[in-house]
Amino acid sequence: MIDLKDIRKVFNEGKAHALTAVDGVNLSLEARQVTVFRGPSGSGKTTLLSLVGCMARPTEGRIVLQDREITSLPERFLTEVRRSTFGFIFQQFNLVKGITALENVMLPAYPLGESHGSLKRRARELLDLFGILPRESSRSEWLSGGEAQRTAIARALINDPPVIIADEPTAHLDTKLSREFMDIVARLKASRKTVIIASHDPLVCESPVIDRVVTMRDGRIEAAGP
């Protein structure tokens, strides 16, 4: 479903401190699989996720998403592809402070122009699905780590994207919450989502729900798993 062809990403190209973060990556990611990228700090995992998720453009190479070449799309279309295809879960969860859990979940859907009532109903359903509806009116900075994580997952799902991208999702969680996160990944997989994770957490990489482990080193793929 997602094909990466000869992808390179150079930061500060042409300058003395230029850095090649992703260096010649070729990879096909299958729909409805759970893939985890692992590798040492600085090996290019986050950079690669940002390219896959259309948050940044590669310096070289092509990305083909569902048979559509997206690398050369104008910004406006790329934003549209990003919004309709991907849900993001970040390491720090990146919830917006000062607004409630419910408002955080609704946020990514605002640009799509759905009626407030219908959007609110869907957002509450998602909070309920993850057992945090009682916290809907809590300001996001008052949520516990686990509640914040589940709010972030609900937010990633609000536009019903086929692909969920999670960058080090368990880095700030204890073992119990990390296991809960993997249970949620299993549920996402069962609901036919494609899940792409970057993590060096053994609890993630060795989970039975993972279909494929891709190991990165120095911006390259060292092993692409089964």
Mutual angle of helices 116-129 and 145-157, in 10-degree steps: 130
4, 34, 35, 47: which one binds ligand ATP (CB under 6 A): 47
Q: How far is the CB of 154 from ligand ATP (least distance, A)?
A: 24
Q: Assign 223 to helix, strand or coil.
A: strand
Size of the site for ligand ATP (CB under 6 A): 13
CA–CA separation, 38 vs 147, rounded Å? 26
Q: From residue 72, give the alpha-carbon distance in Å to each of 47, 52, 61, 158, 183.
A: 18, 14, 10, 27, 37
Residue 11 makes contact with ligand ATP by CB under 6 A: yes
* Structure tokens, 26: 């070729």
20, 33, 46, 159: which one binds Mg ion (CB under 5 A): 46
CA–CA separation, 63 vs 193, rounded Å? 20
Residue 90 makes contact with ligand ATP by CB under 6 A: no
Q: Give the distance between the most distant pair of CA atoms in the chain.
A: 53
Residue 42 makes contact with ligand ATP by CB under 6 A: yes
The stretch among 40-48, 92-100, 106-114, 120-128 that binds Mg ion (CB under 5 A) is 40-48
34, 35, 45, 194: which one binds ligand ATP (CB under 6 A): 45
Q: Assign 23 to helix, strand or coil.
A: strand
Q: How far is the CB of 49 from ligand ATP (least distance, A)?
A: 8
Q: How far is the CB of 117 from ligand ATP (least distance, A)?
A: 40
Q: Identify what 11 binds: Mg ion, ligand ATP, none; CB under 5 to 8 Å per kind.
A: ligand ATP
Residues that bind Mg ion (CB under 5 A): 45-46
